Each structure stands twice: as C-alpha cells, then as structure tokens.
Amino acid sequence: MGNIAPSVLSSFKVKLTRETPYDFYLSGDRVHGIIDIVTNDKTNDLNFRYGPLYVELIGELKDVKTNIYQQRNLNNVQIFFRKRAQVIKIPADNSPTEVSQCPTYRWVFDGLLDSSLPSSLPHCDGDDSYICYYARVYLYRSNLSRKVPFTVFTPTPMLLACQQLLQNYSIEGNVQYEGVKLHGVLSNNGLIVPGHCHMLEIEISNPMKTTIKSIRAILKQYRTVTDEESDFTIFSTILTGFRSKGFNNEYHHNIYELSIPLEKCQVMAPTSSYKNVRYELHVQCHIHGLFNSHFTLTLPTICTTDHQRTLKIMDELKSLPEILEHLSIDEEENSPPSYEDFIISEVLPKYDDVN
C-alpha cells in the first residue's frame, strides 16, 4: 500500500446530502454524497496510482463494560453494519494547456441503509456506550482516508388522524412537597420536536407561603445501548417570572414556551422500545429550607422524526438515478451482519487521516 505525502493533497472534501447536526437519514434511506480531491501532483493520475476509491457505510457500537475489577473498557468497539456504496467517477476538466491548474478529481456515491438499523445514539460523555454511523472514504492503494459521520433514525410513522388526535390532549401531573403543590400541563400530548416551541403550563399552590427560589425545566433522555440504562440532559432552562430573592405568593399560574434548539436533533433519537429510548420532562422546583431542598414533577414525553427537513438535491446528484440504473455491478457484495450478530463482527482496520 502506497503512501501519499500531505504536501501532495491540496483539498479533500466529502459532502453528504443530509449532514449533521441539523439533518438525518431514516433507516432504509439511500445515502448519496460527493467527493472532491484536489492534488498538487500534475504528473501522476491520483485514481490510477492510488485508487480505486471506495466508500463504505458503517454502523458502530461502543460497548463500555465494567470488568470484575470495576474498570471501564473504553475500546470495545463493534461493527454491526458495513456496506460498500457504489462510486462513480465524474470526468474533470483538467486542461493540459493550463499548467498552473491543480488536478481535480470528483466522485459521487450511492449506498443503501438497511431498514432494520437502530437509531444513532451519540455518546453523552467520554466513557459511555454509543451507536454511531459514518461513511469511510479511502483510496485502495494508499493510507489516505476520511471518516464522515452522519445520523440515522428509525422511522416513526404516525397517521394524520393520530396527529390531530394528539393535538387535542395534554400530559399533566401533580406533585406536593412541604405544603407546596405543583401542577404541570404539557400540550400536544407530550410530543417534543426539535426546532419547535412547546407550551408548558405551570400552576403552584403555596398556602404556607414557602419561598420558591426557582423552577427549572429539564428534558432528559434515557437509553439502554447495551445492558445499562444511562440518562442524558437534552435541554435545561430556568423558567422566567420569579424574583431574584424568590417567590412566596400563595398562588402562581403561567404558561411558558420551551424552545428545543434544532441542533439538538442529532442527539434526539425517536422514542423506541427497541433500544429502550424514552424521554421525560422534569419540572424541578427549588424551595428555601433548612437543606435548600427541591422536588421534581415528571412528565413523560415523546420524540418522533417529524422534524425531517426537505431534501434539496445537489446538481451533481440529479442525474445519479439514471446513471445507477445503467451501471453494472461487477462484484456481488456479501450481506452485512445483522444487528443481533454485531458481537462477532470484525473491527475495521485503522487508517491515518492526512492533516
């Protein structure tokens, strides 16, 4: 395998049709992308000397297990999905008369995701389990590669009639602590969508005039990637309307807008029983007392894939379906391992990226 010196490369870019953090693929979708490589080598053809160029779509699970000595194994990475994409080289206009022009190489690729793939579950911190996907782009006879992450979610179809029905109902609950009663109502049946505003109604009954210092709304995600459930804070904000010294009125009622930033899309996998992904909205009430205590009202919520953005097809990809229709496949690909068989799958070899 040959080596490409960093000085030979002028640019190496990979662009997907759906990119993080604002967009995602659904399991069963086709992944399209464009690869652009510009070199400073005007004497050697990049594809002939170092190619061919390959693209693999990969699903990876990092299983952090605790051994008998209570030590965390951070390197137990398993590949549960691996499929080679079809790659088509686009002719470049590298005119030999323009001596100063750097050779430019361009490819488009097309790959199919399995319909049974689990949702992406990015790691919350440095030592937890996760599920991630990426496209690995590499030249076969070189040490050159790029790893481009993307997000995959399991589709959560919902009939229009059900959506209309959800809008007519609310999730509500009550909790009482030290004479303070907190009542909360979440509209739209607890349906949470990144990039949208959600209405939270709060009602406080405080007959003993206990000082309430603050109320915080926290959206939590609970997931079980392997055999341990972990939690992750998606969103946290202090509700407005309380004085800096606290609130001790007998009654309080207000409706608050909770806006979930769209960039949270990449960590908000849809609610699913498959990998036990669920969400809760915690309304945390902090009161002034001997131990500065607090209590929490928990409201179950639902996350779906309704925030899927409209795909804008790049000009270079508009003719891809016609090209693929007439493209002959020379090699028959082996079926990738199923998700259930990921434990016995092989770990990919490591390739050093060119800076």
Among 136, 41, 158, which residue's Cα sits nearest to residue 94? 41
Mean pLDDT in the chain?
Answer: 79
Binned at pLDDT 50, 70 and 90, residue 244 comes out as low
Return d(Cα 263, Cα 260) in angstroms, integer: 9
- Asked if residues 353 and 145 have their Cβ atoms less than 8 Å apart, the reply is yes
Q: Based on the domain organization, do 101 and 233 belong to the same domain?
A: no
Q: Is residue 322 part of a domain?
A: yes
Three-class SS of residue 339?
helix
Give me the count of residues in the chain.
355
Q: Higher confidence at residue 9 or residue 139? A: 139
Q: Which of 73-82, 86-95, 219-228, 325-334 tops mean pLDDT?
A: 219-228
Count of structural domains within the chain? 2
Q: Based on the domain organization, do 142 and 220 belong to the same domain?
A: no
- Mean pLDDT of the region 196-223: 92
Q: Is residue 350 part of a domain?
A: no
Return d(Cα 348, Cα 239) in angstroms, integer: 47
Q: Higher confidence at residue 162 or residue 201? A: 201
Three-class SS of residue 322?
helix
Q: Is residue 226 part of a domain?
A: yes
Q: Quote the DSSP letter at residue 5.
A: -
CA dihedral (238, 242, 243, 246) positive or negative: negative
Note the pLDDT tens digit of each residue in 260-318. Answer: 888 888 899 998 876 679 999 999 998 887 666 889 999 999 898 877 888 888 877 87
Domain of residue 335: give its range. Answer: 6-155+311-344
Q: Based on the domain organization, do 149 and 16 belong to the same domain?
A: yes
- Asked if residues 21 and 266 have their Cβ atoms less than 8 Å apart, the reply is yes
Three-class SS of residue 336?
coil
| 62 CB-contact burial (10 Å; exposed 0-12 / middle 13-18 / buried 19+) | buried
* CATH code of the domain containing 146: 2.60.40.640
The 3-class secondary structure across 261-310, one letter per residue, is: CHHHHHHCCCCECCCCEEEEEEEEEEECCCCCCEEEEEEEEEECCCCCCC
Specify which residues 146 forms β-bridges with: 137
Return d(Cα 264, Cα 283) in angstroms, integer: 20
How far from each other are the two terminal CA atoms of the chain, in whole angstroms? 19
Q: Based on the domain organization, do 59 and 151 belong to the same domain?
A: yes
Q: Higher confidence at residue 10 or residue 111? A: 111
